[in-house]
Structure 1
Amino acid sequence: MASAASTFTTGQRLHEKVCIVTGAASGLGRAIALAYASQGARLVVCADLKPTPKSEFEAEQAGTPTHDVICQRHGQQKSIFVKTDVTIGKEVEALVEEAVKLGGRLDVMVNNAGIGGTENHGMVHEMTEETWDTVMSINSRSVFLGCKFACAQFMKQEPHSSGHRGWIVNTSSIMGLVGQMVYGAAYCASKGAVTLLTKQIAVEYAKHKVHCNAVCPGHLRTPMTQDQFQDREMRTAISALTPWGDEWGSAKDVAQAYVYLASDDANYITGVALPVDGGYCAQ
């Protein structure tokens, strides 16, 4: 299922910024990378375990790797793919080094890679330690590593022309703000950790003019949620919880928030966990 009206608006909101997006092969990460390239980024480094989308569901040009789509649209030097296991510090450090090697600096770090799929692992007393550790490693440890090595680079480079040193945008979730039965304890706890890590880094690095914000998506139509969305009973139950109703958000809808938080329009914003959720958290 391909997304309709999927072309991003072009502009210069990220003019000449060097950006990394983890989990860029599909879903929300792919949408963020395409949006950044459309807004004048000098270089978008797409990081993931594999370059191609996991599914054709809601995927724009599904058979083409994200970095190739960007190069086709915006020029051959505008994007690269770097294979990265975001749970391994040395690989995340190498990812940042590659971005700096090719782009001359790092301006924007999007820590987006993550997993869901814990809805069938039961309540806390039924959940295995392995499930907990895996989810926390991929969803939380990876964000810590991305922030760690991005901040290290920000601290040693000259400020951006705006006077600011760097922008971090982390992917949390509405389940990082409130509890919910669908995804379970490990997912909620991992995203809650992302939310509070974001706030702490914002406080620690504000005096150095480093922004750190998080986006908290609601229920989206992405490969991660394909089974839920196509299960009519589950889709209806989840839709009933959202004021916007049976119209789940698209990755493109949420990607626009990542553009804003990485742009000069957000010069006085840091430490925010921004829900993009059709009103879910307003209840």
Structure 2
Amino acid sequence: MPGRLQDKVAIVTGSSSGLGRAIALAYAAEGAKVICADLAPTARKDIVIEQEQGTPTHEEVIELGGNAVFVQTDVGNSEDVENVVKAAIYEYGRLDIMVNNAEIAAGGADGLKLIHELLNEGWDKMMRINSTGVFYGCRAAIKQTMKQDLHPIGSRGWIINTASVAGLVGFIGAGAAYSASKGSVVQLTKSIALEYAQHKIHSNCLCPGVVNTALTKQLTEHPEMHDRIVGMHPWGRLGEPQDVARAAVFLASEDAGWITGVPLPVDGGYLAQ
């Protein structure tokens, strides 16, 4: 049986580890051709977990029988982002799905400090990657998909941005810069949905709770903190990258044909409290 994303062309930023790697692999398993975009084919050793070490994401896709290429990309550089879209067109002739997933975690760039402790550099770096980088990706994808014929299922393109539950509710001491950056992603996603619905371009975002990735290790590696964070999620466990990847597949599929402008929580019930 063909996959739900059969022959669609997808760009996934931040694809070398964590959520991006899981989404890229899930898309390929559903039949998509994947452009893996990141600073390097494999993430730095300090930001990967054991199961991610070794084979670069695009090589694993190929080993599993899928179709993928890697394009070096700094999402905070608008030229890089434009170039990764050009690479999709060069390799596969079109772009269907843009997943703006690359991010700096809440603990990066002084993200866990209180507002009065934040340095300009920490705020600026967080916004450059988590907010401006998403804008660059959305803009580049929209410019391309607007040129294309409708996909046979009646849509022209799918934008999926990675936000966070921290973009929907406030957190004490969990990173004001991070929350602000993710809140901007939620509102950007909604605005794009309204502006481009007439062009049949979907725009949705994922809002994960705390997911078991290398970027959350500093929050979860201590048993007491781990148990506290698990207790914040009614489902009784941390999320796994595959939990978010499955939602990303849904939002890019025909199953979500009448869904746009939605910040989708994937949070084990966190926001239901």
Q: TM-score range by the shorter chain?
A: over 0.9
CA distance in 2, matches of 1:161, 1:248: 38
Amino acid at match of 1:53: A
What is the TM-score when the length of structure 1 is the normalising length?
0.92
Q: How far has the Cα of 1:58 moved from its partner?
A: 5.3
Aligned to 1:264: 254
**Contact 2:21–2:57, Cα closer than 8 Å, also in 1:** yes
**Contact 2:145–2:157, Cα closer than 8 Å, also in 1:** yes
* Residues 1-283 of structure 1: pairs in structure 2 closer than 5 A: 12-41=3-32, 43-55=33-45, 56-57=48-49, 59-60=51-52, 62-75=53-66, 78-116=67-105, 117-118=107-108, 121-245=112-236, 247-283=237-273
CA distance in 2, matches of 1:198, 1:120: 23
Q: How far has the Cα of 1:11 moved from its partner?
A: 5.4
Superposition CA RMSD, Å: 1.4
What is the TM-score when the length of structure 2 is the normalising length?
0.95
Amino acid at match of 1:274: L
**Contact 1:147–1:168, Cα closer than 8 Å, also in 2:** yes
Count of residues paired in the alignment: 269
C-alpha change, 1:123 and 1:45, in structure 2 (3 Å) is: same
**Contact 2:205–2:264, Cα closer than 8 Å, also in 1:** yes
Amino acid at match of 1:18: V
CA distance in 1, matches of 2:149, 2:2: 25
CA distance in 2, matches of 1:79, 1:276: 26
Q: Indicate the SS of the match to 1:220.
A: coil
Which stretch of structure 1 is more off in the superposition, 150-159 or 110-119?
Answer: 110-119
Which stretch of structure 1 is more off in the superposition, 176-185 or 147-156?
Answer: 176-185
Q: Indicate the SS of the match to 1:170.
A: strand
**Contact 1:174–1:217, Cα closer than 8 Å, also in 2:** yes
Which stretch of structure 1 is more off in the superposition, 270-279 or 180-189?
Answer: 180-189
CA distance in 1, matches of 2:254, 2:211: 27
Once the two structures are aligned, what percentage of the paired residues are identical?
A: 54
Q: Indicate the SS of the match to 1:158.
A: coil
CA distance in 2, matches of 1:11, 1:172: 30
CA distance in 1, matches of 2:115, 2:244: 30
CA distance in 2, matches of 1:160, 1:185: 40
CA distance in 2, matches of 1:233, 1:11: 45
CA distance in 2, matches of 1:103, 1:233: 48
Amino acid at match of 2:49: F
Q: How far has the Cα of 1:59 moved from its partner?
A: 2.8
Q: Which runs of 5+ in 2 are unaligned?
A: none
CA distance in 2, matches of 1:50, 1:187: 23
**Contact 1:58–1:222, Cα closer than 8 Å, also in 2:** no
Q: Indicate the SS of the match to 2:64.
A: helix
**Contact 2:111–2:176, Cα closer than 8 Å, also in 1:** no
Q: How far has the Cα of 1:195 moved from its partner?
A: 0.3
C-alpha change, 1:38 and 1:122, in structure 2 (3 Å) is: same
Q: Indicate the SS of the match to 1:190.
A: helix
Q: How far has the Cα of 1:183 moved from its partner?
A: 2.5
Which stretch of structure 1 is more off in the superposition, 49-58 or 148-157?
Answer: 49-58
Q: Indicate the SS of the match to 2:202.
A: strand
CA distance in 2, matches of 1:120, 1:37: 33
